[in-house]
Amino acid sequence: MTPGDTIRHLMPVAVTGAVVAALLFCTFLRIESGEADTAFRGLAEQRIAAVTINVAAALDSVDLLAAHFAASRESPPNRTQFRIMVAPALASHPFIQALEWVPAVPLAERDALERQARAEGLAGFHITERDAGGGLIPAAARPAYFPVAFVEPRAGNEAAVGFDLASNPPRRAALEAARDQGRPLASAAIRLVQEKGDQFGFLVFAPVFEPNVAATADDRRRHLAGFALGVFRIGDLIAAGDKDGGGARMVRLDVFDDTDPAFEQRLYPSGSPVPPGALTAAPRHVVEPIEVAGRHWRIVATPTAEFQALNRPDSAYIAVAATLLITALGLLFLKNRITQADEHSQLLQRMLEGGRFEALGTLAGGIAHEINTPTQYIGDNLSFLRDTFAPLLTLAGTARTGDWAATAALAEGLDLDYLNAEIPAALDQAADGVARISKIVQAIREFSHPGSVTKVAFDLNHMIQAAATVTRNQWKYVAEMVFDLAPDLPRLTAVEGEINQILINLIVNAAQAIEAKTGRREPGTITLTTRGDGGVIVFSVADTGVGIPADLRHRIFEMFFTTKPPGSGTGQGLAISRAIAQRHGGGIEVVSEPNKGSCFTVRLPATPPAV
């Protein structure tokens, strides 16, 4: 073979090698970028979930405190009892700056309240307000006051004692709104009275009314007893979810308050110069809206420089060098190309599998949030019962010795009426929390059963209720769930895991469609229906969401087609759902009207043909 022949034979191999090298570079670059995106999203969702859980724990602590005061209106707690009552929550949640009791005090009762506070050891106590220079001065005369009467912990919060919350416009706005609406509400971002650093705080007001108050704003104003108040530093709330600091090194969190549509308020970090548009313009970012006692916060997660440095696409350059070296070996390149194609196929398969586990991880974060709330008040009640039973056991032991004088002395020191009211309530709350956790865990257990391609007969109605439980964190803020399940529905023979996949896809899509239409300000409705029609079982998921435009309806079952904004969907859910239904011998169809909602109906034979 002449040199010319050699060149002619090697030229196609060389050209092919160069083309393959370029293709591999692009492929590995895309794969590594996708893996980095998945890794970042996982870290971001972990940090955001931790913040969401802390917010829920903060709101639950204020709700529990308000419930205690509402239940003990005839015999309200004193300062010592208040300190004991809130100690478990403060010990469990260091991000709580303070828990407070704020009574409604008419002008005529101001002097009596100030004298009583001074008699209880608060020397020089006055109801105060801020002057023009920011100093604390005795409050001016006005029809009513809302001073901080009880506060724990006292250390670090001394400046808040006696401060009239109604003297400050942002605090007064949240206070009056909570009173008139009869529900806990958060304030806008404020500078706390006791703040010495450079961060915002916020307050959560939970109103407490006299018994038998009618459900009108005027009645609530006349019968307001006061407020249970939670004081929180936003920076502490976020830092508490990242105990080892690893998340903060990889993921930056910015928090904004979107409650007022007229302007966007940055909550954290308070002095950051980075505009919100620059954050959401970044190639990698996660945006998560959360509801905080009537206010609408938005958390934006972006990668840090450290994360970017650890996720450079080095393998793409290594792939180019390796492919060019293999090309120089001539015919050996052909075998290696086949190997590379097989490895590429496996990588793509792992990417699809990773996407599936990412979706499951998102549900898991919501489930953790759902379990945290009952766990919180079970723990608080158990701590209360532990502290309460110690003196009762001492009293019982003394009585057993027959020393009745000592027994009477111990009994005199106990508030038995208070304990008689609170102990049964604590036990009932703990039992209710255990029942809620049991229901969630049962649903998780059923959905965690190992996957199988074997068809079995199962109760579709029960599966639908379990799916609603598992996905509850996806829809509870935006919709009410309505069940219209046929009581005599035949058992369905199918692959359980695949039918689960259809249900989860349709429920999550319905929740997102409602949120796209109304945000979180006006709840919609998701209706789950089952019917039996001869040998066919029909189930549907209907929503009152944004609907699907008529010109796009024929494309919604195409793979990778989506009407959702970037970062909110992959365009695979409906395509996979249709494939599952068809594999079971059935089908899926949709009826939709823009701005009124959609209804997805799945028809399956009760016993599908073998595949």
Tens of pLDDT, residue by residue over 254-265, are: 999 998 877 668
Contact 269, 254 (CB under 8 A): yes
The residue ranking higher by pLDDT, 568 or 286, is 286
Q: What pLDDT sits at residue 270?
A: 79
- pTM to 2 decimal places: 0.49
**Strand 201-209 with 224-233, pairing:** antiparallel
Residues 6+ apart with CB under 8 A from 521: 296
The residue ranking higher by pLDDT, 272 or 559, is 272
Q: Assign 3-class secondary structure to 500-518.
A: HHHHHHHHHHHHHHHHHHH
Give the C-alpha separation, 448 to 440, whole Å: 12
* Listed range (349-358, 440-449, 454-463) with the worst mean pLDDT: 349-358
Question: Above pLDDT 70, what percent of the chain?
Answer: 80
Q: What pLDDT sits at residue 565?
A: 61
Domain 449-605 has CATH 1.20.1050.10: no
The residue ranking higher by pLDDT, 362 or 341, is 362
Please state the domain extents for the chain.
374-445, 449-605
Question: Above pLDDT 90, what percent of the chain?
Answer: 36
- Reported as a single tens digit per residue, the pLDDT across 56-106 is 999 999 999 999 998 888 888 888 999 999 999 999 998 899 999 999 999
* Listed range (161-165, 283-287, 336-340) with the worst mean pLDDT: 336-340
Per-residue pLDDT averaged across 354-365, rounded?
46
Mean pLDDT across the chain: 81
The residue ranking higher by pLDDT, 604 or 269, is 604
Q: What is the largest CA-CA distance in the chain?
A: 120
Contact 593, 544 (CB under 8 A): no
Q: What pLDDT sits at residue 383?
A: 73
Q: What pLDDT sits at residue 432?
A: 66
Q: What pLDDT sits at residue 58?
A: 92
Residues paired with residue 232 on neighbouring β-strands, in sequence order: 96, 202
Q: What pLDDT sits at residue 5?
A: 60
CA 401 to chain centre: 53
Q: What pLDDT sits at residue 335?
A: 39
Q: What pLDDT sits at residue 11?
A: 80
Per-residue pLDDT averaged across 419-447, rounded?
66
CA 382 to chain centre: 25
Contact 46, 238 (CB under 8 A): no
**Strand 251-257 with 295-303, pairing:** antiparallel
Q: Is 132 left (phi over 0), alpha (psi -120 to 50) or beta?
A: alpha
Q: For residue 303, give the 3-state DSSP assignment.
A: strand
Q: What pLDDT sits at residue 394?
A: 81
Residues 6+ apart with CB under 8 A from 537: 460, 489, 490, 492, 530, 531, 603, 604, 605, 606
- Reported as a single tens digit per residue, the pLDDT across 137-183 is 999 999 999 999 999 998 888 888 999 999 988 899 999 999 999 99
**Burial status of residue 24 (CB atoms within 10 A of its CB: 0-12, 13-18, 19 or more):** buried
Give the C-alpha separation, 38 to 453, whole Å: 27
Q: What pLDDT sits at residue 147?
A: 95
Q: Could you tell me the two tokens for 563?
A: 């009407």
